[in-house]
Amino acid sequence: MSDQNKEDLIEELGDNHIATSYENPIREDAFEMSDDEKIEKIKGHVHQIMETLGMDMTDDSLQGTPNRVAKMYVNETFGGLHPNKKPKASTFQNNYKYGEMLVEKNITVYSTCEHHLLPIIGRAHVAYISSGRVIGLSKMNRIVNYYAKRPQVQERLTMQVVKELQKALKTEDVACVIDAKHLCVNSRGINDIESSTVTSEYGGKFKDENVRRELLNYIKLDTKF
């Protein structure tokens, strides 16, 4: 493949928001640098970007922007990249023998498109059927938040949430549906402010049409499957 064809393919993947891997593409040496070192380095890059755009970085309103952006990236927006921040997914014995579907709906999703570094904002709906273990409700929110806080594509995020809960609960019977707006679609490019993207991942019993329909009835999301 020629350099030009490769460049065209990369642009096409980005414009169409296509992921290339299930795992986030993270380098092996990603965490050798401390958070403080990363903040200092990113601060310099942000300053240079703004200066290149023609901003007067001596202005009182702008002087603190590079530091604020750097801290936000490392500690908040992309904090889910660091494995040390992964929430502990403690589970408990299902002593009360609850055997029906459990749904945690309308979990707020704030993520960032890895192609344009613009926000993805929406709701996640997570469900599982216990095979002997249960998980605290807030843990499902924390798992969604952890995988959302990184440069992402929505399909990958949906799959990662399901895989993490399957591993924690030791069951395949887990599902996740995410309905979100992408500002790279809403505020640039096609500028379509009305559209949203729905992704789903169904495991185990949720692959059955009747079980899926029960879940969609719970979350009141009439989506095709």
Catalytic residues: 113-116, 154, 182, 184
The torsion angle over the Cα atoms of residues 13, 179, 27 and 3, rounded to 10 degrees, is 0
Cα→Cα distances 173→6, 46, 59, Å: 40, 44, 55
- 73: DSSP letter: I
Residues 6+ apart with CB under 8 A from 206: 127, 129, 173, 174, 175, 212, 215
| SS3 call for 193 | coil
Question: Residues 6 or more apart from 84 whose CB is under 8 A from it?
Answer: none
Q: How crowded is residue 22: how many other Cβ atoms within 10 Å of its Cβ?
A: 10
Q: How many Cβ atoms are within 10 Å of 60's Cβ, its own excluded?
A: 6
Using CB atoms within 10 A of its CB, is residue 27 exposed (0-12), middle (13-18) or buried (19+)?
A: exposed
